[in-house]
Structure 1
Amino acid sequence: MFGRRRREQSPADVAAEEVEQVPSRESGPWDADEPHPERERVDLGGMRLPVGPGFEIQLNVAGDQIVGAVVLFQESALQVHAFAAPKRSGIWDEVRAELAEGMKSAGGTSEEREGPFGVELAAKIPADGAEQSVRYIGVDGPRWFLRGVISGRATVDAEVAVTLEDVIRDIVVVRGDEPMPPKEAIELRLPPEARQAAERQAAGGRAPNLNPFERGPEIAEIR
Structure 2
Amino acid sequence: MFRRRRGAAEAPSDKPSDPTPGQQGAAEPKGSGRESGPWDSTDSYPEADRVDLGGLHLPIGPDFEVQLQVAGEQIVGALVLAQESALQLHAFAAPKKSGLWDDLRVELSRDIEAAKGTVEEHEGPFGAELHANVPQENGQQAPIRYIGVDGPRWFLRAVITGRAAVDPGAAAVLEGVVREVVVVRGDDPMAPREGIQLQLPPEARQALEEQADDKPYNPYDRGPEITETR
TM-score normalized by the length of structure 1: 0.83
Partner of 1:169: 179
Point out where structure 1 has 5 or more consecutive residues left out of the alignment: 1-20, 212-219
Query: Which structure has greater helix proportion?
Result: 1
Partner of 2:84: 75
> What pairs up with 1:25-104 in 2 under 5 angstroms?
25-104=34-113
Using the alignment, how far apart are the partners of 1:52 and 1:23 within structure 2?
27
- The alignment of Structure 1 onto Structure 2 pairs a total of residues equal to 195
Shift of residue 24 of structure 1? 1.9
Which has the bigger relative contact order, CA under 8 A and spacing at least 6?
2
Partner of 1:139: 149
Partner of 2:11: none
My pick for the range that moved more, 61-70 or 165-174, is 61-70
Using the alignment, how far apart are the partners of 1:65 and 1:59 within structure 2?
10
Partner of 1:181: 191
Partner of 1:115: 124
My pick for the range that moved more, 53-62 or 173-182, is 53-62
8 Å contact from structure 2 (residues 122, 131) kept in 1 = yes
Shift of residue 78 of structure 1? 0.3
Using the alignment, how far apart are the partners of 2:51 and 2:150 within structure 1?
22
Partner of 1:190: 200
Using the alignment, how far apart are the partners of 1:38 and 1:182 within structure 2?
30
Q: Tell me the secondary structure at the aligned position of residue 58 of structure 2.
A: strand
Shift of residue 58 of structure 1? 1.1
Identity of paired residues, percent? Answer: 59
Pair 1:210 & 2:224 matched: yes
Shift of residue 168 of structure 1? 0.4
8 Å contact from structure 1 (residues 46, 175) kept in 2 = yes
Shift of residue 199 of structure 1? 2.2
Using the alignment, how far apart are the partners of 1:197 and 1:115 within structure 2?
40
Q: Tell me the secondary structure at the aligned position of residue 86 of structure 1.
A: coil
Using the alignment, how far apart are the partners of 1:23 and 1:161 within structure 2?
27
8 Å contact from structure 2 (residues 31, 43) kept in 1 = no
My pick for the range that moved more, 182-191 or 197-206, is 197-206
Once the two structures are superposed, what CA deviation does each residue of 1:59-90 show, in whole Å capped at 9, x if it has no partner?
A: 11122111110000011000000000011100
